[in-house]
Amino acid sequence: MANSRFEYVRTFERENILLPQTHIIIRIDGRGFHKFSSAYEFQKPNDPNALKVMNLSAQALMKSIPDVMMAYGDSDEYSFLLRKNCDLFERREFKLITAFSSGFSAYYQYYWNIVFPNKPLSVERLPTFDARAVVYPSDSIVKDYFRWRQVDCHINNLYNTSFWNLVIKGHLSPQEAENKLMGTVSSDKNELLFKEFGINYNDEPEMYKKGTVFIRDVRDTLDLVPNSDVNLSKRQVERLRGKLRKVTINELHCDIIKEEFWNKRAWLLK
Amino acid sequence: MANSRFEYVRTFERENILLPQTHIIIRIDGRGFHKFSSAYEFQKPNDPNALKVMNLSAQALMKSIPDVMMAYGDSDEYSFLLRKNCDLFERREFKLITAFSSGFSAYYQYYWNIVFPNKPLSVERLPTFDARAVVYPSDSIVKDYFRWRQVDCHINNLYNTSFWNLVIKGHLSPQEAENKLMGTVSSDKNELLFKEFGINYNDEPEMYKKGTVFIRDVRDTLDLVPNSDVNLSKRQVERLRGKLRKVTINELHCDIIKEEFWNKRAWLLK
Amino acid sequence: MANSRFEYVRTFERENILLPQTHIIIRIDGRGFHKFSSAYEFQKPNDPNALKVMNLSAQALMKSIPDVMMAYGDSDEYSFLLRKNCDLFERREFKLITAFSSGFSAYYQYYWNIVFPNKPLSVERLPTFDARAVVYPSDSIVKDYFRWRQVDCHINNLYNTSFWNLVIKGHLSPQEAENKLMGTVSSDKNELLFKEFGINYNDEPEMYKKGTVFIRDVRDTLDLVPNSDVNLSKRQVERLRGKLRKVTINELHCDIIKEEFWNKRAWLLK
Amino acid sequence: MANSRFEYVRTFERENILLPQTHIIIRIDGRGFHKFSSAYEFQKPNDPNALKVMNLSAQALMKSIPDVMMAYGDSDEYSFLLRKNCDLFERREFKLITAFSSGFSAYYQYYWNIVFPNKPLSVERLPTFDARAVVYPSDSIVKDYFRWRQVDCHINNLYNTSFWNLVIKGHLSPQEAENKLMGTVSSDKNELLFKEFGINYNDEPEMYKKGTVFIRDVRDTLDLVPNSDVNLSKRQVERLRGKLRKVTINELHCDIIKEEFWNKRAWLLK
């Protein structure tokens, strides 16, 4: 190409290839969603329609990228688990994370327009998401990763449920509510909800307490996921991805901390 | 937090901080835009409305991120130059590239819906963009980077103009057109366009031949861009970004290969 | 400190922390040892005294760094396996590899002076070694790593034995010997050695054919190696390293390709 | 090769190529030299013979690697500046830093045996050095880097001179000396040295106060260092390195903080 004189600038490009044979998890996270949720007047503590947009987006992304075996999310974040041997974008980090950040943003805007026909998005405040990829060398750490996110969901939801009840029903100012909750532990908040507002936290919707799990259910087609992609031809990988694309994706709102969840779905970490 | 038991998983996170005191360029690139442009029946060789969506998106992104001093794009790609001392996201690579990939995707979908009210986007084929960041240690390499992109724009546009005239007006099949152009140099294509289709390539629109440049014009407020952010307080950085945000952004379709362009706008690389 | 004005230069330093919970292998390799072995007139194809210097150095390095569980080497290279949970130098790559490269070089020079009292080292040609670290996420890949090195040892030794017999006993020039061996497979070389020089390759010394293995034998003190360092205090880690330091190091010249070797020594990969 | 079955393990290797067109500085640092200097009974505060071994080693390393334009060191550390366009080891970080760490260690042991014939090194305590590489994108930061090291040398030497005079001549315990110096500034220490021990710090040897600088003096052969290696053939690079190898290396003990030093030697940063 006639380009050669300037093409040397490519030598400055750097590439990070994520370590092979490790689990890749990509987590997307809403950018500035505190302000976003205020500007579009999300219902508090949880807006079922806004969560619906999140979940539809996560599911659509998972459908479009067959290497995603599982997704877990709550609030304005979602974590996607790629199958261990996946060679998507040759495991190039920048390709992976920008595919997830831009893909999720695109789905979110698309579904927002459907779910909220009466809340048009302003060009000054469009929904966007950042994304990071982390590799984990063993199954047990992957499980602990998802446990970490679910514990976080629980802690945040209990706090937010308490906080917003104090503000909305208890007529406290945000600052007063914050002060009241400072230093409290879980049992304190459970008691407060029950005594002051007659709310039994255990009866709150599972989706709020546990978040949302999507599972690619290859149970009946376990041979789909090979032990290694190393010996697969490009054609075989494409065929595999085609099959994975057709597998049912199940939505759950269950405990993923106990071993039981993982034991029942051993294929997730295969 | 009660999280501590699982929180060790964070020790697996890796962070790449882009080298300080270097120019960061972030290039976004349409994912699968060959198929995208077919599916939405882009006009060939250039679709002015599709380019309008690109340019509106680039301009909006540049407005929203005041550290961007210049943008250059054509076809389905755009390169953004950040001011040398910028400390956006503390120069963390994953934050930077996913902000640009998701931000650009969001604007593109938004403006598409406005520019193409009769071509609704299908959820099966939403526009997404990947993004990569590269750091360049000197002004002269930054200039060569943009020259590289503009030479590339020229080469591609001359080829595409020839190819699509052969197909549309010359009634060749794509394969025949490709064969006819194989091995030709620029002057051959210029001659072919003139002799067979009466087209003087020089008279083609500047935007197609040269691409689009956006410039943050701090000419009259040169003191805006400091020599270094090192000694600025957080507050001063915020004030600086606020001022940069208000500076006019000019759209140009001009030569950026000659030194003249750069000499006239010395502040770009300050 | 009065240093502050210039100390900003430290912000340019970059640090690579090797992924936790993976096996680290560090391989050292003689720099320019082709010329080194000519200059100091090594016996060909194998110089037992030069190998002795290599082995003494590897053993001394292993003694001084108790986190090394195993070492394997031949010719001018050695690979060191660190225990999986080891947190030596907080897994900082530059510290790890320069400790091994400079440590091995230091021992080599020290033992050279003892083993070769009549071949003083010239300042123009001192022995030096480069070092690289690679992390492997699973036991089976670690085994394959060492198998890779032993297969390499075998291939090289069979070639070198054939080559040098052709040159020394067969009176061929190096070029003639190279030509003669071009395109031959293992069985050809075995036959050549036997027919032309009466050498049964199987009877060659095990150390030449298989290389050298050093094992830290914690068999009787299996509780030494914990499942994880995460919960150990600094003091406990120090005590552990102190104990590992005292454990016997065994020298072997055996097959490490078959599973048997690894099954017998499960602690190596614990 | 018959190796193929296991050779996949190489896909786990990672490579860091240092950014082109930036200055590389490699700093070596004695490992555990506090204990090393006690064990071999270094003269305090400065041991001229031990410094001689350091300086001989730095000079020898600089001679053997012609891309080093300048070295600066004191105590148990040395910093080496590579010429900006140098492509040594294709700028691969692991090769660069292990070449410097093992090379410096090798020279140090070699010269130790010459300078200290009566202090044989013990195998339990051989001298080793770690090494790190940092890239700097501009001349002014490179200057500040060396200024940082010289300021550090000054601060440490003033402290050590005071400390050891208090201990040796003042008969204080190390703890008492430390307490006495706590919170003192430079002028306090100068006064203390003068009043208590009749020492005018300004009269101390320049090498102790300023450290040691080695310069590759290409003054009369300025055309040696090209503006860029990009267009040089391998042969031209080799010829260039051959010439640089022959250029005189000067030893200085001067101020490198003032601009004067750098203005006089513009080629260093060319």
The DSSP code sequence of C198-249 is ---GGGS-HHHHH-EEEEE--GGGGGGS-S-STT--HHHHHHHHHHHHHS-E
**Contact across the interface for D152 and C12, Cβ inside 8 Å:** no
Closest CA to A145 of A51, A67, A81: A81
Number of helices and strands in chain B (H, E): 10, 6
Closest CA to A212 of A77, A34, A116, A68: A77
Residue of D nearest to A17 (CA): D14
Least-confidence region, from B161-175, B231-245, D32-46? B231-245
Taking the C-alpha atoms of residue C38 and residue C44, their distance in angstroms, rounded to an integer, is 10
User: CB D174: neighbour CB atoms within 10 A?
Assistant: 11
Write out chain C residues lying below 8 Å of B230, CB-based.
8
CA distances from B213 to B64, B243, C91, D120 (A): 17, 21, 46, 69
Contact yes or no for D212/D72 (Cβ under 8 A) = yes
Interface A–D counts its CB contacts (< 8 A) at 14
Contact yes or no for D253/D150 (Cβ under 8 A) = no
* Residue pLDDT, tens place only, A11-54: 999 999 999 999 999 999 999 999 999 999 999 999 999 999 99
Rounded to a whole number, what is the distance in angstroms from the first to the last CA of chain D?
A: 45
DSSP A215: E
**Contact across the interface for D145 and C186, Cβ inside 8 Å:** no
Binding-site entries of C for Mg(2+): 29-30, 76
- The residue-averaged pLDDT of C41-59 equals 98
* Interface of chain C toward chain A, CB-CB under 8 angstroms: 19-22, 135, 137-138, 141
Three-state DSSP class for residue B263: helix
**Contact across the interface for D20 and A12, Cβ inside 8 Å:** yes
Residue of B nearest to A108 (CA): B106
Residue of A nearest to C140 (CA): A21
Taking the C-alpha atoms of residue B204 and residue B161, their distance in angstroms, rounded to an integer, is 9
Helix boundaries (H) for chain A: 4-7, 33-39, 48-64, 93-115, 139-168, 174-181, 186-197, 206-210, 234-246, 259-263
User: CB B50: neighbour CB atoms within 10 A?
Assistant: 22
Taking the C-alpha atoms of residue C12 and residue B270, their distance in angstroms, rounded to an integer, is 20
Write out chain C residues lying below 8 Å of A270, CB-based.
none
Sequence-ordered list of residues with C-beta below 8 angstroms from that of B104, at least 6 positions apart, any chain: A102, B28, B57, B58, B61, B78, B129, B131
Kindly list the partner chains of chain C, i.e. chains with 3 or more CB atom pairs below 8 Å.
A, B, D
Kindly list the partner chains of chain B, i.e. chains with 3 or more CB atom pairs below 8 Å.
A, C, D
**Contact across the interface for B141 and D21, Cβ inside 8 Å:** yes
Residue C89 has pLDDT above 80, yes or no: yes
Least-confidence region, from B17-31, B71-85, B238-252, D18-32? B238-252
Per-residue pLDDT of chain D in tens (270 residues, 90 and over written 9): 455 799 999 999 999 999 999 999 999 999 999 999 999 999 999 999 999 999 999 999 999 999 999 999 999 999 999 999 899 999 999 999 999 999 999 999 999 999 999 999 999 999 999 999 999 999 999 999 999 999 999 999 999 999 999 999 999 999 999 999 999 999 999 999 999 999 999 999 999 999 999 999 887 666 666 666 666 788 888 888 888 888 889 999 999 999 999 999 998 998
**Which among D8, D12, D17 has CB closest to A230?**
D8
Residues A77, A80, A86: CA angle, nearest 5 degrees: 160
Closest-CA distance, C231 to chain A, in angstroms, reads: 15
Contact yes or no for C177/C30 (Cβ under 8 A) = no
* Residue pLDDT, tens place only, D207-263: 999 999 999 988 766 666 666 666 678 888 888 888 888 888 999 999 999 999 999
Sequence-ordered list of residues with C-beta below 8 angstroms from that of A89, at least 6 positions apart, any chain: A95, A96, A99
Whether B223 has a binding-site annotation, put simply, is: no
**Which among D99, D127, D151 has CB closest to C2?**
D151
Taking the C-alpha atoms of residue C139 and residue C83, their distance in angstroms, rounded to an integer, is 11
What is the residue extent of each domain of chain D? 15-151+206-269
Closest CA to C137 of A259, A65, A140: A140
Can you name the residues that pair with C265 across neighbouring β-strands? Answer: none
Contact yes or no for D2/C186 (Cβ under 8 A) = yes
Helix boundaries (H) for B44-173: 48-64, 93-115, 139-168
Which tokens is D171 given?
């008969």
Sequence-ordered list of residues with C-beta below 8 angstroms from that of A123, at least 6 positions apart, any chain: B60, B107, B110
| pLDDT of amino acid A240 | 84
Residue of C nearest to D14 (CA): C134
Write out chain D residues lying below 8 Å of C135, CB-based.
12
Write out chain D residues lying below 8 Å of C109, CB-based.
106, 109-110
Closest CA to B63 of B217, B237, B249, B226: B249
Write out chain A residues lying below 8 Å of C140, CB-based.
none
Write out chain D residues lying below 8 Å of A230, CB-based.
8
**Contact across the interface for B98 and A103, Cβ inside 8 Å:** no
**Which among C11, C17, C230 has CB closest to B20?**
C11
Closest CA to A268 of A233, A224, A203, A237: A224
Closest CA to A103 of B114, B57, B31: B31
Per-residue pLDDT of chain A in tens (270 residues, 90 and over written 9): 455 799 999 999 999 999 999 999 999 999 999 999 999 999 999 999 999 999 999 999 999 999 999 999 999 999 999 999 899 999 999 999 999 999 999 999 999 999 999 999 999 999 999 999 999 999 999 999 999 999 999 999 999 999 999 999 999 999 999 999 999 999 999 999 999 999 999 999 999 999 999 999 887 666 666 666 666 788 888 888 888 888 889 999 999 999 999 999 998 998
The DSSP code sequence of D191-218 is HHHHHHH---GGGS-HHHHH-EEEEE--
| pLDDT of amino acid A230 | 61
Q: Over the range D118-143, which residues count as b (16 or more CB within 10 Å of their CB) and which as e?
A: eeebeeeebbbbbbbbbbbbeeebbb
**Which among C60, C105, C151 has CB closest to D102?**
C105
- The residue-averaged pLDDT of C170-192 equals 97
Contact yes or no for C114/C9 (Cβ under 8 A) = no
**Which among B11, B12, B20 has CB closest to C12?**
B20
Global pTM reads 0.94
Closest-CA distance, D43 to chain C, in angstroms, reads: 24
Residue of D nearest to B141 (CA): D21
- Domain B15-151+206-269 matching CATH 3.30.40.10: the answer reads no
Kindly list the partner chains of chain D, i.e. chains with 3 or more CB atom pairs below 8 Å.
A, B, C
Helix boundaries (H) for chain C: 4-7, 33-39, 48-64, 93-115, 139-168, 174-181, 186-197, 206-210, 234-246, 259-264
Closest-CA distance, C113 to chain D, in angstroms, reads: 10
Closest CA to B102 of C96, A57, A104: A104
Which tokens is A239 given?
């065929």
**Contact across the interface for B20 and C14, Cβ inside 8 Å:** no
**Contact across the interface for C137 and A137, Cβ inside 8 Å:** yes
CA atoms within 13 A on the CB side of A76: 18
ipTM over 0.85: yes
Contact yes or no for D82/D88 (Cβ under 8 A) = yes
**Contact across the interface for D19 and B138, Cβ inside 8 Å:** no
**Which among D12, D19, D21 has CB closest to A19?**
D12
**Amino acid at position D79, single letter:** S
